[in-house]
Structure 1
């Protein structure tokens, strides 16, 4: 799939939104990628994750285990693992830090790929990778559907993505006037109870 093909899938699913959005990082953006509109459609999810699996296999070779951060990474992690013929597990927060729970293990020698949905600042990816590295196994790289950092996010591992976008992000006190005039909405899932609009 080309980058245009991938973005067409997001547009067709109504998952490419424009306005004034509060990201999970707290930054503000004029564009939000509502990936759950992709993941609610299994055939569309399969198509995108098959393309991601092919790109990851070409870059990193055989993969034994895919590890994703909960919650947003679980669906693309599972489907990418299915396409790779790998196991799919995920990390969850415990006392504020990502850890493997539920009896999940990474055996010694396993070739591990971290899979995310969308990378903005790379924080959750870095945290997921740090959790993976506390276990045996060999983290060979990372993959995501869309890297909206323009390739600038340093996640601490080689990264492949289906699309790289350079979407501007702003701190709440440094908004361009056209964004400041629009009410902010928080469409993501992290910190919903603490979300405030401005």
Structure 2
């Protein structure tokens, strides 16, 4: 899938938003990728995640388990694992730290790829990778649909993505005047009650 084809999927799903957005990291941005608009369509999700699966296979070879961070990574992790023909598990927070729960296991020698939806600062990816490394499997690397950092986020493992974008993100006290003039909205889910 080319960069333009990935962007076309976001546009067709009305998932490429412009305005003033508060990201889950707390940073502000003029662009928001509402990935759940992609994931609400199983056919579109399958297409995007099959392409991500091909990229993973080309980059890392055979994969036994896809591990994703809850909640945003569960759907792309599952669909990418389906495309790869392997298991899909996820980590979730327990006492503030990502853990495998629900009886999920990573056996010795299992070849693992961490799959994320969108990487901005890489924080949730780093936390997910730290949880994976507490188990005996072999972490091959990580993959995401969109890397908003354009390769600048250090997640602690090799990262491949369907699309790299250089989307600006600013601390709230360092907004450019044009962005500061637009009311901010928080379309993500991390701070939802």
Shorter-chain TM band: over 0.9
Residue 64 of structure 2 aligns with which residue?
A: 64
Q: Tell me how far apart the structure 1 counterparts of residues 178 and 103 of structure 2 sit (CA, whole Å).
A: 49
Q: Tell me how far apart the structure 1 counterparts of residues 2 and 150 of structure 2 sit (CA, whole Å).
A: 16
Q: Tell me how far apart the structure 1 counterparts of residues 64 and 189 of structure 2 sit (CA, whole Å).
A: 29
Residue 85 of structure 1 aligns with which residue?
A: 85
- Given the two structures, how large is their TM-score scaled by the length of structure 2? 0.99
Q: Tell me how far apart the structure 2 counterparts of residues 49 and 103 of structure 1 sit (CA, whole Å).
A: 25
- Given the two structures, how large is their TM-score scaled by the length of structure 1? 0.97
Unaligned 5+ residue runs, structure 2?
Answer: none
Structure 1 segments of 4+ aligned residues over 4 angstroms from their partners: none
Q: Could you report, residue by residue, the CA deviation over 1:84-110 in whole angstroms, capped at 9, with x for unpaired residues?
A: 001000000000000000000000000
Residue 20 in structure 1 maps to residue 16 in structure 2: no
Q: Tell me how far apart the structure 1 counterparts of residues 44 and 191 of structure 2 sit (CA, whole Å).
A: 28
1:97-108 aligned at under 5 Å gives the runs 97-108=97-108
Equivalent pairs counted in the alignment come to 193
Q: What's the CA shift for 1:191?
A: 1.6
Q: What's the CA shift for 1:150?
A: 1.1
Residue 135 of structure 2 aligns with which residue?
A: 135
Unaligned 5+ residue runs, structure 1?
Answer: 194-198
CA RMSD of aligned residues (A): 0.5
Residue 160 of structure 1 aligns with which residue?
A: 160
1:90-129 aligned at under 5 Å gives the runs 90-129=90-129
Q: Tell me how far apart the structure 2 counterparts of residues 124 and 13 of structure 1 sit (CA, whole Å).
A: 25
Q: What's the CA shift for 1:192?
A: 2.5
Residue 39 of structure 1 aligns with which residue?
A: 39
